[in-house]
Amino acid sequence: MKIDLHLIPPTATSQENKTAVVNGRIMHYKSKGAKQTFATLTAALAPFRPDQPLDGPIRLVTLWRFPRGKSHRDGEWRISRPDTDNLQKALKDVMTRLGYWTDDSRVCCELVSKIWSDDPGIEITCEPIRSARYGES
């Protein structure tokens, strides 16, 4: 399955979650930015959800294309925050909730890139891995 989302990729991540003490208890909650990220990704990915979730080993390839400013060229690597692992965490959580796969632990092969682009968005390819073992075709 290949998906090309034409949107400005969100930069708020789950790493920005908040903690508060309420009546002597520690409470964890999503920051406003993280909530917006989940809402944006959910709205963009919902129309592409599969009829059946993938199961077994899954390969996930993601290209995050951020809008470039005057100091960057189209296709240049983005070497600033957010980190790719933080971007992927939110994406995989949303894809799990929407039923793209039975659980994001099934993603066992992953390639993530982030660049500056004249055409911002997120390219996502998720597919079952047909071989039973690493290195087999």
pTM for this entry: 0.87
**pLDDT digits over 82-119, tens only?**
999 999 999 999 999 999 999 999 999 999 999 999 99
- H helices of 47-112, where? 84-97
Residue 121 is assigned to a structural domain of this protein: yes
Q: Is residue 137 part of a domain?
A: no
Strand ranges (E), the chain: 2-5, 18-22, 25-29, 58-67, 107-117, 121-128
The tally of domains found in the chain comes to 1
For residue 34, tell me if it sits in a domain. Answer: yes
Torsion angle of alpha carbons 132, 61, 90, 13, nearest 10°? 140
Residue 134 counted as domain residue: no
- Return the residue matching tokens 């796969």: 101
Domain assignment of residue 119, yes or no: yes
Q: Phi and psi at residue 33, in whole multiples of 5°?
A: -65, -40
pLDDT band at 80 (very low <50, low <70, confident <90, very high): very high
Asked if residue 33 is part of any domain, the answer here is yes
Q: Which CATH number goes with the domain that contains 49?
A: 3.30.1330.70
**In which domain, by residue range, is 85 found?**
2-128
Q: Is residue 135 part of a domain?
A: no
